[in-house]
Amino acid sequence: MSLNTGLDRTLSSQPHPASAFAAERLASVEGVLNYFKPSAEKPRTYTYNPPPPGEPMSTVVPEPHTVSIRDARPVLGQVSLDREGFELIRFDTTATDFDDDDAVKAVYYPEVERAMKAATGADRIFIFDHTIRRQIPGAKDDRIGPRQPVPRVHVDHTVASGPQRVRDFLPEEADELLRGRLQIINLWRPLRGPVRNFPLAVCDAGTVRFDELVAADHIYRHRVGETYQVLYNPAHCWFYVPEMQTGEALLLKCFDSRTDGTARFVPHSAFIDPTTPAGAPPRESIEVRTLVFHRE
């Protein structure tokens, strides 16, 4: 069985381009990232606990690799969503209660929508969900306690599941909206800073081959989504933003309908920063997932 179930193979032979920056000149830390260990079957993960009888929570087996993760701050003025697939923006909020979903939707969502329109020039932004993560050292994300940082290299959507999100949330408008350009972009922001524990690493999308993305089922109680696991290649160029503050937000592109060389899928992962000082507070963050529409 092919590892890349559901992939468009027409892009799989593209070589790795060099990163747009002289990455070796940037300061870096050595971090362990958990890539996907190849398997014969399509990987699957249940999003609820307990899973069906006899099923593991996940069949994804990690393959850890130590990689250099560069300090992106010196080049943040040069990276872009369309080339590397990520950007850092200034983001201030008036929201104060992140434990109340209704309050987050009423106050935070409109702020995110305005920021996303300004950053992308989109005609329309539709926010479809958010996740709060509060790190508990040593805890796994078992869907029972607080959501934990994800120490696994992945992409949130695939060529199939990206457009499906539009059909799920905007079924009556989907055909018309999908005639234009669709992006799915996450806005990731600390709830307290600076972030020193379990920061987020992002990979320059231009250094990832399409055939290194492995479609995996993400199984909910009433639907099956699809994400990408990622195969290791030493050519991948990784970055992070040290000491992120609450007035900063990282934009991550998880899908783009364009196929003209624009960044489409950005692998990312939480990681243990070996320079984290003793006693650093656990990470707390919020990620908001948005459908970004452009008329073309």
Instruction: Assess whether the previous peptide bond of 53 is cis (omega < 30° from 0).
Output: no
Query: Contact at 8 Å (CB) between 291 and 129?
Result: no
Give me the half-sphere count of Cα atoms (radius 13 Å) on the Cβ side of residue 263: 29
Pairwise CA distance, residues 210 & 191, whole Å:
33
So what's the pLDDT on residue 138? 77
The verdict on residue 255 lying in a domain is: yes
Phi/psi for 168 (5° steps) reads -70, -45
Q: In terms of residue numbers, what domain contains 238?
A: 9-14+23-294
The verdict on residue 67 lying in a domain is: yes
Query: Contact at 8 Å (CB) between 122 and 187?
Result: no
What's the number of domains the chain is made of?
1
So what's the pLDDT on residue 147? 87
The verdict on residue 215 lying in a domain is: yes
Pairwise CA distance, residues 79 & 88, whole Å:
9
Q: Are strands 213-219 and 44-46 parallel, antiparallel or unpaired?
A: parallel
Query: Contact at 8 Å (CB) between 247 and 194?
Result: no
Q: What is the mean pLDDT of each run of 10 residues along the chain (296 residues)?
A: 34 51 80 96 94 94 97 94 96 95 97 97 97 87 79 97 97 97 98 95 96 96 96 97 97 97 97 94 96 92
Phi/psi for 146 (5° steps) reads -55, 145
So what's the pLDDT on residue 14? 52
Strand partners, 240: 71, 201
Q: Are strands 238-240 and 200-203 parallel, antiparallel or unpaired?
A: antiparallel
The verdict on residue 2 lying in a domain is: no
The verdict on residue 46 lying in a domain is: yes
- For 162-175, the three-class secondary structure string (H helix, E strand, C coil) is HHHHHHHHCCCCHH
Give the C-alpha distances (Å, rounded to integers) separating 168 from 45, 186, 279, 289.
20, 18, 43, 14
Pairwise CA distance, residues 254 & 46, whole Å:
20
The verdict on residue 3 lying in a domain is: no
Query: Percentages helix, strand, coil for the chain, rounded to the nearest 5?
Result: 15, 30, 50
Where residue 128 sits, what CATH number does that domain have? 2.60.120
Query: Contact at 8 Å (CB) between 185 and 263?
Result: no
The verdict on residue 172 lying in a domain is: yes
Tokens of 228: 């990408």
Phi/psi for 43 (5° steps) reads -70, 155
Q: Are strands 238-240 and 62-71 parallel, antiparallel or unpaired?
A: parallel
The verdict on residue 56 lying in a domain is: yes
Pairwise CA distance, residues 181 & 257, whole Å:
6
Pairwise CA distance, residues 252 & 81, whole Å:
7
So what's the pLDDT on residue 137? 81
